[in-house]
Amino acid sequence: MVTKKMKVYYRFFLFIAITGIFFYGIKTTISGPYLQSIHGSPTSGVQRNNLTQFSKGNCVHCHEMHASIGGSEPTPVKPGPSLFTLLADEENACYYCHGSTSNNNPPLSKNIQAQFQNTYRHPVERSGLHKKPAYLETATDLQPPYRHSECTDCHNPHVLLQTTHTYNSTSPASNNLVSGVLMGVFGVEPQGWLYWGSPTTFYELRPSPSNPTGGASKEYQICLKCHSYYGFGSSLNTSTGVTTITGPSGIYLTDQAREFSPQNYSFHPVVQPLNTTPRGGSTPYALTAGQLNSPWSVNPGSQTMYCSDCHGAYAWDATGTQIKGPHGTSNPFILIEGRYWPSKPSNCGGGYWTLSDIRNNQCSWQINLLCAKCHPLYSGTGWKNKVHNIHVGKSATCNGTSYTSVPCITCHIAIPHGSKNSRLIGNSSDPSPYNICSAITRFTKAFGPFNYSKYSCSTLSGCH
Ligand code: HEC
Ligand code: HEC
Ligand code: HEC
Ligand code: HEC
Ligand code: HEC
Ligand code: HEC
Ligand code: HEC
């Protein structure tokens, strides 16, 4: 029975809880443009089903003191998100609305929880290692033995807007800037990029109570806080770029600050467009328009791209309820849905992709090969470079198996982020996992894709 006295107590407690959160919040939280954020919006913000007496966007839909409002007393921590336990609730606080059962009113359409049930995923289920608000974390909070990845390491729930990235054709060099969902997140930028070397000093780009939308301005800066020396610490061998941390796909993780350095002879343009930095290796830096699919074919040499154009269920071209972001997919390395590299999907007999898979139209390469999403490789008019054309009929041995046509990774580096050679060509002297079966001992880029000769390259068997 609810007595009058209980109601008075309840109202008093509610008042204290809300003013407490409010004033504490004003003093310390990154809640600056909260009312403009998607969660704080009075028209489309947070609203728990069982708390419709509070307006949309109200903090109490996520924060409440000791489950005093919508939770069941007297449990002080669970169920229900509560201010000082949100850190402990981790991904479950977000799944409350973004999960398989949405407790939001109206219900949300994108099920993020389902993505994290894939084998290849960010390990949000690892618990008890994210001990501070993400914007206050330092290198030691991210390095082993605390290595973790929670939703709030990549998203700031007080600041984020609803927008995700698309291809920006008006300003193609800006195709690596953080989208709305990544605003106000702590990231790092190396203090100087190296030629195939691991930077060990970083600028820390943090949002702060006085600058809540501060933080990473580029998506890769968020990734690098965990995928470079900053987040690897002594698990990274800074002379090889390889760590002793095994990722969900079963290989040792490597240093992305080394691989995407604009000082390398080649790289996917995540940090800078290909033509921006004069560097080693001969010109031209950019590919020709014919070596790229739309929309990438419009601005060769002057565009950047996102890590999440290759990692995550869907990329820049997602439509409808397709979800972007490197949460988790059913493909190794969290590659975009249905796309594989360097191995073929198991339903095509396994093994590595070879040039004849393309030439002979095998294994639905146009929809299954990662590279084919952005590079046409072969069409009615033939190959897009002479080297592919010449080698399609040559045999090779890779990782103990003989192939009647040359596997891609005989020439290309297995991790296609960047290389010390031009055109993502690997080296037979590279360590694993960069090298699986590289035959290349020297490579010189030609003036154009059809200008190659046997003098462009040397191999282990000296066949050139
Ligand atoms: C009380 C419900 C609720 C909780 C808890 C919640 N959200 Fe949301 N979230 C929403 C609503 C409502 C929207 C905007 C409407 C929509 O998505 O349809 C939204 C939007 C978003 C968006 C923008 C993209 C999109 O799909 O609209 C992101 C990103 C996001 N939330 C992340 C998070 C993260 C990370 C957490 C946990 C820290 C979290 N949310 C917790 C209700 C919630
Ligand atoms: C979508 C859910 C959500 C909403 C809405 C929300 N918060 Fe938070 N809040 C969180 C999460 C999750 C954390 C833990 C942050 C982390 O792990 O980095 C947090 C942390 C905090 C903290 C401690 C860290 C800090 O920033 O100092 C304060 C204070 C806070 N929130 C206040 C508020 C206030 C005030 C509001 C309303 C203006 C609000 N929050 C609205 C989810 C939310
Ligand atoms: C807060 C830390 C953190 C951040 C930020 C982060 N990651 Fe990760 N990432 C991890 C952890 C932890 C793993 C699992 C492997 C491990 O234990 O280190 C992982 C795994 C991965 C894998 C899977 C590797 C495999 O073996 O399949 C990919 C791909 C990946 N991350 C890409 C990204 C991208 C892209 C970004 C930026 C959008 C990013 N990560 C940001 C911590 C992080
Ligand atoms: C052009 C597509 C592409 C882009 C862009 C890309 N990746 Fe990858 N990434 C791959 C592929 C393919 C693999 C699998 C490599 C292998 O088989 O060893 C991979 C592997 C990884 C792995 C796991 C293995 C390792 O070496 O650590 C991580 C982590 C990762 N990428 C993070 C990132 C981050 C962070 C970014 C942006 C800074 C990024 N990737 C951008 C294609 C891409
Ligand atoms: C999401 C789109 C995308 C995917 C997937 C992709 N690439 Fe690229 N690739 C690009 C873009 C964009 C460039 C830069 C072209 C330019 O601006 O000139 C590029 C450039 C390259 C270059 C030239 C780099 C240099 O510095 O010389 C090579 C080689 C290359 N890609 C190979 C690959 C291979 C191999 C794969 C598959 C493992 C792949 N790409 C997958 C978009 C992609
Ligand atoms: C490793 C970093 C990382 C982690 C961890 C992470 N996200 Fe994301 N998330 C991203 C990126 C990157 C995007 C896509 C950004 C873009 O396309 O501009 C994204 C996109 C989203 C979107 C919008 C999807 C769309 O297509 O509209 C939602 C919602 C979201 N994340 C929620 C979550 C929730 C909830 C969690 C935890 C359960 C989580 N994320 C964990 C990096 C992450
Ligand atoms: C015999 C060595 C060799 C093999 C095998 C090889 N490549 Fe290449 N690839 C090259 C060279 C050299 C270039 C640079 C062409 C240029 O300078 O424009 C290149 C360029 C590319 C490009 C840039 C776009 C284009 O079409 O030129 C992509 C994408 C690519 N390769 C993917 C692949 C894939 C996928 C495979 C396997 C199916 C593969 N390569 C096998 C040597 C090779």
Domain positions in the chain: 4-109, 136-331
Q: Is the CB of 37 under 6 A from ligand 2?
A: no
Check residue 85 and give its pLDDT.
60
Check residue 71 and give its pLDDT.
59
Least confident stretch, 54-68, 74-88, 146-160, 216-230: 74-88
Average pLDDT over residues 286-308: 98
Check residue 163 and give its pLDDT.
97
Indicate yes or no: pTM above 0.85: yes
Check residue 89 and give its pLDDT.
84
Check residue 81 and give its pLDDT.
45
Query: Are residues 412 and 441 in contact, defined by beta-carbon separation less than 8 angstroms?
Result: no
- Which atom in ligand 1 lies closest to the alpha carbon of residue 103? 2
Q: Which of 30, 41, 47, 98 to mutate to test the pocket of ligand 1 (most atoms within 8 A of CB)?
A: 98
Q: Is the CB of 160 under 6 A from ligand 1?
A: yes
How many helical (H) and strand (E) elements, i.e. helices and strands, does the chain have?
A: 13, 15
Q: What are phi and psi of 372, to 5 degrees?
A: -70, -15
pLDDT band with cut points at 50, 70 and 90 for residue 70 = low
Q: Is the CB of 59 under 6 A from ligand 5?
A: no
Q: What's the rounded Cα separation, in Å, for the pair 334 and 350?
A: 18
Report residue 260 as tokens: 């995407």
Q: Which of 2-16, 32-46, 82-96, 315-329 has the highest mean pLDDT?
A: 315-329
Least confident stretch, 11-15, 145-149, 336-340: 11-15
Helix (H, G, I), strand (E, B) or coil at 89: helix
Helix (H, G, I), strand (E, B) or coil at 355: helix
Q: Is the CB of 327 under 6 A from ligand 2?
A: no
pLDDT at 29 over 50: no
Check residue 213 and give its pLDDT.
87
Q: Which residue has the higher pLDDT, 13 or 428?
A: 428
Calculate what percentage of the chain has a pLDDT beyond 70. Answer: 88
| Averaged confidence pLDDT in the chain | 90
Q: What's the gap in Å between 47 CA and the centre of ligand 5?
A: 43
pLDDT band with cut points at 50, 70 and 90 for residue 419 = very high
> What residues form DSSP beta bridges with 205?
187
Q: What's the gap in Å between 319 CA and the centre of ligand 2?
A: 30
Q: Which ligand is nearest to the CA of 212?
A: 2
User: Quick one: the chain helix, strand, coil %, rounded to 5?
Assistant: 30, 15, 60
Q: Which ligand is nearest to the CA of 125?
A: 6
User: Which residues line the pocket of ligand 4, CB cutoff 6 A?
Assistant: 220, 223, 227, 247, 251, 253-254, 256, 260, 268, 270, 305, 307, 309-311, 333, 335, 341-342, 370, 414-417, 433
Check residue 60 and give its pLDDT.
87
Burial (0-12, 13-18, 19+ Cβ within 10 Å), 33:
middle
Q: Is the CB of 446 under 6 A from ligand 5?
A: no
Q: What's the rounded Cα separation, in Å, for the pair 132 and 28?
A: 13
